[in-house]
Amino acid sequence: MLSGQGTRCRKDSMRIRHARVEDAEAISRVHVDSWKTTYRGMVPDHVLDGLNYERNTLRWREMLSNIGEMKCFLVAETSDGQVVGFATGGPNRELDTGYNGELYAIYISNENQNRGVGKRLVLNIALWLIHHRYTSMLVWVLEKNPAKYFYEALGGCYVSRKKIEIGSALIDEISFGWPNLAEFVNAHVRKA
Ligand X SMILES: CC(C)(COP(=O)(O)OP(=O)(O)OC[C@H]1O[C@@H](n2cnc3c(N)ncnc32)[C@H](O)[C@@H]1OP(=O)(O)O)[C@@H](O)C(=O)NCCC(=O)NCCS
CB-wise, 28 or 34, nearer to ligand X? 34
For 106-145, give the DSSP string.
EEE-GGGTTSSHHHHHHHHHHHHHHHTT---EEEEEETT-
CA distances from 75 to 27, 42, 54, 81 (A): 8, 26, 19, 11
Q: Does residue 175 belong to the site contacting ligand X (CB under 6 A)? A: no
Least Å from the CB of residue 60 to ligand X: 16
Dihedral class, residue 82 (left if φ above 0, else alpha if ψ from -120 to 50, else beta): beta
- Number of residues interacting with ligand X: please give it, by CB under 6 A: 19
Q: Does residue 184 belong to the site contacting ligand X (CB under 6 A)? A: no
Q: Does residue 15 belong to the site contacting ligand X (CB under 6 A)? A: no
Spatial separation of the C-alpha atoms in residues 127 and 72, rounded to whole Å: 10
Q: Does residue 104 belong to the site contacting ligand X (CB under 6 A)? A: no
Residues 58 to 97: which contact ligand X by CB under 6 A? none
CB-wise, 29 or 115, nearer to ligand X? 115
Residue 13 per-residue DSSP state = -
Pattern 125-164, ligand X, x by CB under 6 A: ----------------x---xxx-xx--x-----------
Residues making contact with ligand X (CB under 6 A): 34, 38, 106-108, 113-119, 141, 145-147, 149-150, 153
